[in-house]
Amino acid sequence: TYGNGIANVLKSVAMGIRVVDASAGGMGGCPFAPGATGNVSTEAVVNALNHAGEPLNVDIDGLIKAARVLTPYMKAVPYATPELGSLACLTCEFYDGSSCCGRNR
């Protein structure tokens, strides 16, 4: 999605789509897409939808805790860091106001 996963989800929901695919911590990836680093994280999707006025009955804190538990067991960091200032960056649960998702590349 070239860093547009969250934006794609928000546009899809705005167009009437009610089921989207995501994974805790963005785990996974696509064996058919060279360089694909992971999927859209469920916690980022929930956070973005809540901010967009689509409140969900989901425990966002529980999702974030689950992702943090899973991350040490992964071979590589699963996140592709979106561009600073992008919708994906601004809605990331790790965004600290100065660096995207609070991570260094």
Q: Which residues contact 100 (CB under 8 A, 6 or more apart)?
A: 81, 82, 83, 84, 86, 89, 92
Q: Which residues contact 29 (CB under 8 A, 6 or more apart)?
A: 36, 37, 38, 39, 78
Pick the catalytic residue: 30, 89, 92, 100? 30
Please say if 30 is a catalytic residue. Answer: yes
Q: Is the dihedral of CA 14, 36, 77, 22 positive or negative?
A: positive
Enzyme catalytic residues: 30
